[in-house]
């Protein structure tokens, strides 16, 4: 019992024995005082009995000391073994964390390698690269679940869960720079003589114009792309580049030059599409040479001011036309005299909309009908390309006719499908995702470099 109490008190043997000695000393003083008080009355037998009791107590104390020392020695050994095992466990945990980090690194390396190989295969096949971007909207419940970098799920009104996969899925908190970074390799290939097309598709109010145009403090893909291309051309000192920019909109099946001076005798509405070799051209379309980022910003501001926008029930600033920004890049190598011709076509498509939700009437209704018709024509072109149809109906709308050089087999094409996370927009979101999934299956063939 004393040993158990000793363990609980966590005393050392010396501390315990010191306490016992103090108790014995106190007991001795008590006996001496008692004996002094009653010395005259104590008999020899009582004194002998007291002596024997004291000797027995000393003997018990020595035995107890031996037991305490022995038990403490055992406890010390157990504590030392426990400390060794604890250190071993800690070391194993550290090693396990290091192995786990190594496995994560290997997994990411393998994942990126597989993605790179997949992208190369897709590029060789000429597949349209499709990215998905979800806008931030906290006005209602979220019906979109993000599974990873390239997957998302949506829950329909009937409770069905559908999964979609794209090259990259940008969540609502994604930044403009992050979005541009993933499309940069495709965009910059136009400097090497490739024709490149990038378009944004989705319902009205889903963030297409923000993705493509952005705002002054946080520009979108258009300005970032042109600025980056200007810098690349500057860095290649052995090649002389000429860059020209044009902007037009397709409004109610009419081509309107957004960079044309309104006082010019040639009105934008008279622009027509003409065949030129294997491609097309738009005679009379204003083309402005750019050399600096400031030139690009100025042109974007002019074009943005001339674009047709209006308010609907779904969007206070709804684009009522398809905007096409085109950059022509002509380079001549000073040493080899080789000449390259590339182009970058950036399209901000007008948003698809249901009349019952947009509440469009009068002029807005005519615009909505033209928008939906041209987007349907684009879907028909994608379907014909996906099924390798002998006839591709490019001429069904002005929009698809303009896209002939981009979708005709010699270019690299990329698409953003912009969606809303709100459950109230699930029908439009599902339609947009299905459109993007179908476009992702279109193989245009390997892009050709325009070098002479």
Each residue's pLDDT tens digit, 48-89:
888 888 888 888 888 888 888 877 777 887 888 888 888 888
Is pLDDT at 195 greater than 90 in this prediction?
A: no
What is the Cα–Cα distance from 323 to 366, expressed in whole angstroms? Answer: 18
At 400 the pLDDT is 92
Task: Reply yes or no on whether the pLDDT at 97 is more than 60.
Answer: yes
Residues 102-114 have a mean pLDDT of 75
With H, G, I as helix, E, B as strand and everything else as coil, classify residue 243. Answer: strand
DSSP assigned state of 351: P
Model pLDDT for residues 219-250, shown as the tens digit of each residue = 888 889 888 888 888 888 888 999 999 999 99
Best-predicted range by mean pLDDT among 197-201, 349-353, 355-359? 197-201
Contacts of residue 175, defined as CB under 8 A and 6 or more positions apart, other chains included, come to: 218
Flag whether pLDDT at 416 surpasses 80.
yes
- HSE-CB at 13 with a 13 A cutoff on CA atoms is 16
**Predicted model pTM:** 0.69
pLDDT of residue 22: 67
User: Please, are residues 261 and 364 in contact by the beta-carbon 8 Å criterion?
Assistant: no
Render the burial of 27-53: b for 16+ CB within 10 Å, e for the rest. eeeeeeeeeeeeeeeeeeeeeeeeeee
Distance CA 422, CA 238 (A): 51
Residue with tokens 């992050």: 178
Q: What percent of the chain has pLDDT over 90?
A: 15
User: CA gyration radius for the chain?
Assistant: 41
105 half-sphere exposure, CB direction, 13 A CA radius: 6
Mean pLDDT of 438-445: 84
What pLDDT band is residue 37 in, cutting at 50, 70 and 90?
low
Task: State both tokens at 269.
Answer: 């509405």
Residue 285 confidence (pLDDT) above 80: yes
**Identity of the highest mean pLDDT range in 96-100, 308-312, 324-328:** 324-328
Q: Are 374 and 367 in contact (CB under 8 A)?
A: no
Between the alpha carbon of residue 44 and those of residues 47, 49, 76, 108, 383, the distances in Å are: 5, 9, 48, 94, 124
């Amino acid at each position: 019992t004393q040993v158990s109490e000793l363990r609980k008190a966590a005393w050392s043997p010396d501390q315990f024995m010191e306490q016992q000695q103090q108790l014995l000393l106190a007991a001795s003083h008590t006996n001496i005082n008692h004996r002094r008080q009653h010395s005259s009355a104590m008999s020899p037998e009582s004194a002998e009995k007291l002596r024997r009791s004291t000797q027995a107590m000393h003997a018990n104390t020595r035995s107890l000391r031996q037991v305490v020392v022995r038990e403490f020695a055992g406890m010390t050994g157990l504590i030392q073994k426990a400390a060794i095992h604890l250190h071993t466990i800690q070391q194993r945990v550290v090693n396990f964390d290091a192995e786990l980090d190594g496995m994560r690194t290997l997994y990411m390396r393998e994942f990126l390698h597989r993605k790179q190989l997949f992208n190369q295969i897709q590029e060789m096949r000429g597949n349209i690269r499709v990215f998905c971007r979800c806008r931030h909207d906290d006005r209602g419940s979220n019906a979109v679940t993000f599974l990873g970098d390239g997957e998302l799920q949506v829950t329909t009104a009937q409770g069905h869960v559908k999964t979609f996969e794209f090259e990259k899925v940008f969540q609502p908190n994604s930044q403009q720079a992050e979005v541009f970074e993933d499309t940069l390799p495709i965009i910059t290939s136009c400097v090497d003589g490739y024709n490149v097309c990038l378009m944004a598709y989705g319902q009205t109010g889903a963030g297409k114009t923000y993705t493509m145009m952005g705002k002054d403090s946080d520009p979108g893909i258009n300005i970032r792309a042109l600025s980056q291309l200007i810098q690349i051309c500057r860095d290649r000192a052995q090649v002389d580049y000429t860059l020209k920019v044009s902007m037009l909109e397709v409004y109610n099946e009419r081509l309107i030059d957004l960079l044309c001076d309104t006082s010019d005798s040639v009105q934008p509405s008279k622009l027509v599409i003409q065949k030129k070799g294997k491609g097309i051209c738009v005679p009379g379309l204003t083309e402005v040479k750019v050399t600096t980022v400031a030139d690009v910003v100025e042109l974007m501001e002019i074009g943005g001011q001339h674009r047709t926008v209006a308010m609907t029930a779904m969007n206070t600033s709804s684009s009522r036309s398809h905007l096409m920004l085109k950059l022509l890049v002509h380079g001549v190598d000073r040493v080899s005299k080789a000449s390259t011709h590339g182009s970058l076509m950036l399209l901000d498509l007008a948003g698809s909309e249901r009349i019952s939700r947009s509440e469009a009437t009068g002029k807005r209704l005519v615009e909505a009908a033209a928008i939906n018709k041209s987007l349907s024509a684009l879907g028909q072109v994608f379907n014909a390309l996906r099924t390798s149809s002998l006839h591709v109906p490019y001429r069904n709308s002005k929009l698809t006719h303009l896209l002939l050089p981009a979708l005709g087999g010699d270019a690299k094409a990329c698409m953003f499908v912009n969606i809303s996370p709100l459950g109230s927009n699930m029908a439009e979101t599902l339609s947009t995702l299905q459109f993007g999934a179908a476009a992702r299956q279109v193989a245009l063939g390997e892009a050709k470099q325009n070098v002479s």
